[in-house]
Amino acid sequence: MTVFAPWLLHDFAPGEGERQQAHTPELDTAGWLPVAVPGDVHRTLVAAGRLPEPFYDRNEPEADWIQEREWWYRTILTGPQDALAPDERLRLVFDGVDTYATYYLNGEVLGTSQNMFREYAFDVTIKLRPGPNTLAVRLDPPLQHVNLAQVPAWDPEIVKPKVAMRKAQFGYGWDWGPVLPTFGLWRGVKLRRERAARLTGVQFATVTLNATHTFAVVTASVEVERFATDAPLNAEFTLTLPSGEALTRQLTLEAGQTGGEVSFELRDPALWWTHDLGTPALHSLEVRLLLDDQPLDQLSQQVGVRTIHLDQSPDADEPGTRFFRFVLNGLPIFARGANWIPADSFVGTLTRARYEPPIRLAQQGHMNMLRVWGGGVYEHDAFYDLCDELGLLVWQDFMFACAPYPETDELAQEVRAEAEYQVRRLRSHASMALWCGNNENQWIQEMRYLTRATGDLYYAKILPEVVTELDGQVPYWPGSPFGGNDHNSMLDGDRHNWDVWHGQRPIVRQFGDPIGLDRTPEGVSYRNYAVDMGRFISEFGMHAAPALRTLRRVIPEGELYHHSPSMDHHNKDNPKNKGDALMEGTTGLPGDLAEYLLFSQVAQAEGLRFGIEHYRRRMPHCSGALIWQLNDCWPVLSWSVIDSDNVPKAGYWFARRAFAPLLASVKPLEGGGAEIWLTSERREEVRDTLTGRLMDFAGQTLWTRDVDVQMGHGQSFAVLNLAAEELHADGHHYLRLESRGGQFEASTHFFVEIKDLKLPQTLPILEARAQPDGSLSLSVTASQYSYLVHFTSDEVVTFSDNFFDLEAGQSRTVTATHPVRALRPEDVELKMFQARQLQQ
């Protein structure tokens, strides 16, 4: 029922709104601002000119006053003109309110809420009048609801009130995010007219799948709330297969019964696979609830036939360790992907159109898993729908991160209600692969204080109870990282590698070992990934600057230089010069802004490639590598591989090649030798000839080796061993790996750091041709070896490929597109890695 007039917004000093009758029909709303629902207070104020753009320059503190005010939403709600039947009711449903709210209808209090992460509903059958009604929502300053005496803290000097609130934690600042705690009706509001009973949950599950994938049994179950009948009810299930065939089942819920299940037997089922292993086939499930053949309620969802399992069996080849690998439809997989943070600081403004570009880039980047990190939000339905459609698994954290959480009765009740709501909402998505209790809480607590984590009531009891009771299909894991002697163990469970970026020592650690720091270029070198023998790396990464056009939106022209006050404000990691040590060891320190943007992206790209290749070579002993992080919530210098304007960094393109299902890589050996490895995650057998060429930058071939290879899914092994004396391991030579059958993309291995290479500096020749569809065909040809050839634009341009190397005489064609207009050759600029120290 679309019955809401446009919403209005106004702010008051705490307690002043009621005194000024903001909740009553009689209020004069002159001066109130129009506000979108779903939406956000901050963006409304920016649009009205009451708040400077908070992302620009150092404006962020200009928004501090917002969290000290109370914010009122008002609308006119039209009640039905016709009389309700005796078994009908009206329910006012708020899908998401941020955060402490009081609800008023025609001046009377309906109720309150205190959790951003769950739905609230109010029975307004008696209170709603025919015709216009005044609906008001008061949002209080969150901190006034926090009892600081009940807030646990790791450091008594740093008490974080946010942990007592069921509110997005990242809004209070993170090492990649601003301090912009939000307010608003951040998800939809609806009035539901319901009769007799309603569907409260539908679950779809694959309970049987035979080894040959020729037979499956799936179930569909319902949960029902009866509010005005004990009579028998009928549930009608329609499962529409990808072929278009519709299968139906009927279920009778006898008098008083509130749930039931039906099953479907499927011959040669169309399975849901991640996109790299097959087709993410989706079925349509529709459930109708009926009383005496009259429809009461209906729910529909896209679902997938698939099984998911977490294998933690002992790894016999590495005694004392256990696997941590996902098994999809009986097939063990290597999770290749990234961590997902909220795509905007103002989550109420997000739409499917905002979600699709970064998620599609993840799929195109050969990723098969995204981890929804626990300091943000349970994402919008559009996020999970897109992952279902594009064939990406989802690791779903519950919303707890990097802090001790109070274990009060009140908070425990909220956590249970939140978990029940979210598990019901998300459990039937084909993409759901794991429920995880939190981000880093047990690890940090026990690493620092050697005691049980405050919050274990949730991670060890409430959350697994809810997952078992309401899901029972998707596995649960207590935290990330978790498992082993130390909760960041290399022997068991999943692991976060921050030893490299933060220079933490020792890298190999036992429970209780002190933590040291080495932030020298050697201490933060990405080559330290090579000592990580972890089972599943669920976080690892390093900083890089965003694109120049992204920075120009938020950095004043006079501060567009490395470590300017505004640039450092857009780097929330401390100390601010941490990335300098990484660049110093990889590219050398930058001399100007252009070099900083390029060098930081090169250091990230080479580091991610090195780490991904190392972890993938260790398959199956290591079964996952999730980059920290895929995306940003604002324009920032961060670990992301896609910036806030959806411009992929060099790191994205390097990771895309390193994540390709069939990978050829080089493993350096002590003493100067090397092994060439091939790693396959293709379902079909691979037969190919791998060619290795030792080259110099003048284009001369020193030697060539050909190796015939044959391998199956999930295999990774060395195919060629090269002695040190064969390699000429200096700054004049490189090793080139190619597939004679074109089954994997050619790659280059250098023997020294980028700063020590004797790279040619001649820019390739570009031929740009406008196409009838408005795109540009960009053909580049190199006369000499060209490292990091890439295209840039001040326009919103998408490139089909970028940040690649070309050998002498080699050409490559890239397509450039713009979302709304035809491109001209002058819209695009060709660049490569050119540094002043290489030209001296």
Catalytic (active-site) positions:
440
CA dihedral 98, 100, 104, 109 (to 10 degrees): 150
Cβ neighbourhood burial of 107 (10 Å; 0-12, 13-18, 19+)? middle
The Cα-based distances of 203 to 130, 381, 428, 430, 637 in angstroms read 36, 16, 6, 11, 41
ω into 575 cis (within 30 of 0): yes
Q: Please, how many CA atoms are within 13 Å of residue 15, restricted to the half-sphere of its CB?
A: 1
List beta partners, residue 208: 217
Cα separation, 352 vs 30, in Å, equals: 34
Contact (Cβ atoms closer than 8 angstroms) between residue 467 and residue 460: no
Alpha helices in 427-485 (DSSP H): 441-449, 456, 463-470
Torsion of CA 532, 534, 536, 539, to 10 degrees: -50
CA distance 21 to 146: 26
Given phi > 0 = left and psi -120 to 50 = alpha, else beta, which region is 53?
Answer: beta
Do 537 and 489 contact (CB within 8 A), yes or no? no
Query: CB-hemisphere CA count at 13 Å for 125?
Result: 14
* Amino acid found at 248: T
Q: What angle do CA 501, 806, 729 make, to 5 degrees?
A: 60
What is the spatial distance between Cα 448 and Cα 470, in angstroms, rounded to a whole number? 35
Longest dimension (CA), the chain: 91
* DSSP structure class, residue 178: E
Using CA atoms, how far apart are residues 261 and 237, in angstroms rounded to an integer? 10
At 550, list the tokens: 């992204």
Contacts of 303 (CB under 8 A, 6+ apart): 204, 282, 283, 284, 285, 428, 429, 430
From 312, 313, 311, select the one nearest 330 (Cα to Cα): 311
Residues whose CB is less than 8 angstroms from the CB of residue 638 and which lie 6 or more positions away in sequence, other chains included: 176, 543, 544, 571, 572, 573, 629, 632
Would strands 393-397 and 369-372 be described as parallel, antiparallel, or unpaired?
parallel
What is the full DSSP assignment across 509-549?
A: --TTPPPEE--STTTT-GGGGGG---S-EEEE---B---HH
Residues 6+ apart with CB under 8 A from 239: 218, 220, 246, 247, 248, 249, 264, 283, 284, 285
Per the DSSP assignment, residues forming a β-bridge with 205 are 219
